[in-house]
Amino acid sequence: MITIKDVFEDYKQLKKVYEPNEIEAITLFTISEISQLSKASIKAFPERELSSQQEEQLKNILTQLLTGQPIQYILGVTEFYGLPFKVNPSVLIPRPETEELVEWILSSVAEGQKHKAESVKQFTGGILDIGTGSGCIAISLKKNLANAQVSAIDISETALQTARENAVLNEVDVNFIHADILNYYSTPHTSPPAPQYHIIVSNPPYVTVADKKQMHTNVTDFEPHSALFVPEDDPLIFYRAIAHFAKANLQPGGLLFFEINESYGQETIELLQSMGFTNTELRKDMSGRNRMTKAVIG
């Protein structure tokens, strides 16, 4: 029998792949998923013994982790905004900074409802998530804005299948649409009927070739490139297309939210302003990097 403490020692082999703080987080997450123990319990009782079956599972997972494969793909699950999500190589792994984007949207809705002397529960507006992937943004918003009409677009049918499974898992109703936002007006697609949207949000591809050189191989070797990379000579290609779509599909006073490449914060703001958006705001994430924008359509 091995103990929890033994697993933490064994997983230190991951220093070839990860930083120490990442190793601890990965180990904790893995033990919790395999043992079904809370993270607090794991930390409080390091001498607790694990079963031989759990020991075998943990060793097999370590072997995969040493190749650089993300733990979320190995286990097939992750957590986002307090909710469980299935993930696989057809979708990006949800990131903590995207949780901050969701929080910003929810606080903006709350502020808008306060001005109407209404509660968030009374918000019935239309929300569209473009490039939904696992569905983490759309599903988290629907879970917290139960009366909102939430839709989500993705070019990948396999990604949409994962998103649909996540909607079922989290017991929410989201309208998923298979479409390419870069060619939205020139290709057949299924679109939800009116009313138009009150909020459009997107975390589109924004990684350039130059950025790729700085990225960890567990991202570049395993996560879907179509959801990550953009042409070096046109890094804002998705932002331009989505802003164009938002101009035609947001109600007056509607909000457009983006997660962005920190290197193109000012350029993204200037793009939005040049297209007629107002009250543009650039926001930093928890690491102090420019990672989110908000804009209003007149």
pLDDT over 60 at 17, yes or no? yes
Domain ranges of the chain: 2-67, 89-297
User: What local confidence, expressed as pLDDT, does residue 116 receive?
Assistant: 86
How sure is the predictor about 251, in pLDDT bands with cuts at 50, 70 and 90? Answer: very high
Least confident of 199-208, 212-221, 228-237: 212-221
Task: Identify the bridge partners of residue 3 per DSSP, sorted by sequence position.
Answer: 49
What average pLDDT does this structure show over 77-100? 95
- Per residue in 50-66, pLDDT tens? 999 999 999 999 999 99
pLDDT over 70 at 246, yes or no? yes
- Per residue in 221-243, pLDDT tens? 555 655 555 676 678 989 999 99
User: What local confidence, expressed as pLDDT, does residue 274 receive?
Assistant: 97
* Residues of the chain above pLDDT 90, percent: 79
Q: Name residue 290's amino acid.
A: N
User: What local confidence, expressed as pLDDT, does residue 1 receive?
Assistant: 87
Q: 89-297: CATH homologous superfamily?
A: Vaccinia Virus protein VP39 (3.40.50.150)
What average pLDDT does this structure show over 251-263? 94
CB 197 within 8 A of CB 254: yes
- Compare 225 and 278 and report the one with higher pLDDT: 278
- Per residue in 138-197, pLDDT tens? 999 999 999 999 999 999 999 999 999 999 999 999 999 999 998 886 555 555 444 489
